[in-house]
Structure 1
């Protein structure tokens, strides 16, 4: 119980970082399609979210507390004083059985979260945190071939729509609607109206 109260005190007394002060204004994503924060960095692909957090050199695994739940994450260090690195509701649900953490070289904690929905980019790691501009996200081209056909077509459509929006051109859905309108014969519709008026 003492650890929990220490954790809460530490969380409340931690001054917000410069990025956290900016609130929900969108930012350019880092090279991993996430953000570099004061206490950690996160990145993402359509399938996974990866987090790296530096910890004091010599940290042991037993000193780390990491609770991965379907919709939340808590990562920190036990002890006096306890330190919270991340705590909050995740931007999207994750597959707990396919998510894990490990300690590298006793100085870096890595967390891998497997997204439940592999079709969307996360705007932030935790809800209420700094958001990235998902229009600026760049998926790895080499990974597209690894996706199943349905997911690959979804990703390619998203990429096409993103490029079209940037150039001020219609998206794939808008193009499809235009094509349908071209095929639709309005002259037949007018004839139907004439017959209905005659009746």
Structure 2
């Protein structure tokens, strides 16, 4: 990951693009050399491990622990084995065999706000600063976060239309209630901001 050095900031735009391209190619080659492929979301990581065609679950030896993963055929050296780069939720992590030729391992991350640099600590790392997450849907968010995002979206839309934000609308409503409760007061020269 040569993009993290101090010299990166002093490079021209073209030099940065060339370095980024070289880093992506190196990263891609390192990942392609692994005996598995993987992808991740903030909450989880999915691994595909090719196995000989016709492989059944009972022929596999799969160990999923909080900080360890091992997948292989019984009686043979594991295809992949080692310490996980971060802790997982063992009870929410699973594995299955697809089409009797691929072992699919789903790991539920313990810290669901962090990108992983690799699956096993001794394998090549990816540059997590370059990850472009898939667009998430509002329905994926918890209630409090969703409410906050919807409020921000509403306020942004109101500002673009030159209309009051939700906070400004609440203030105006409170002032109107106060005025109706106190008709004896004159608000004609009041400056409200």
TM-score range (shorter-chain normalised) is 0.5 to 0.7
Q: CA deviation at 1:76?
A: 0.8
For these two proteins, the number of residue pairs brought into alignment is 123
Runs of 4+ in 1 over 2 A off after TM superposition: 26-30, 35-38, 142-145, 147-153
Structure 2 Cα separation of the partners of residues 133 and 152 of structure 1: 32
The structure with the largest alpha-carbon Rg is 2
Q: Are 2:132 and 1:138 equivalent residues in the alignment?
A: yes
Q: CA RMSD in A?
A: 2.7
- TM normalised by structure 2 equals 0.57
- Match of residue 37 from structure 2: 41
Q: CA deviation at 1:78?
A: 1.0
Please, which runs of 5 or more residues in structure 1 have no aligned partner?
Answer: 1-25, 154-199
Please, which runs of 5 or more residues in structure 2 have no aligned partner?
Answer: 1-21, 149-193
Structure 2 Cα separation of the partners of residues 152 and 133 of structure 1: 32
C-alpha distance after superposition, 1:75-111 (max 9, x if no partner): 11113xx131111111110000000100011111000
Q: CA deviation at 1:136?
A: 1.1
Q: Residue 139 of structure 2 contacts residue 146 of structure 2 at CA under 8 Å; is this kept in 1?
A: no
- Match of residue 55 from structure 1: 51
Q: Are 2:82 and 1:88 equivalent residues in the alignment?
A: yes
Q: Residue 60 of structure 2 contacts residue 74 of structure 2 at CA under 8 Å; is this kept in 1?
A: yes
Structure 1 Cα separation of the partners of residues 147 and 90 of structure 2: 24
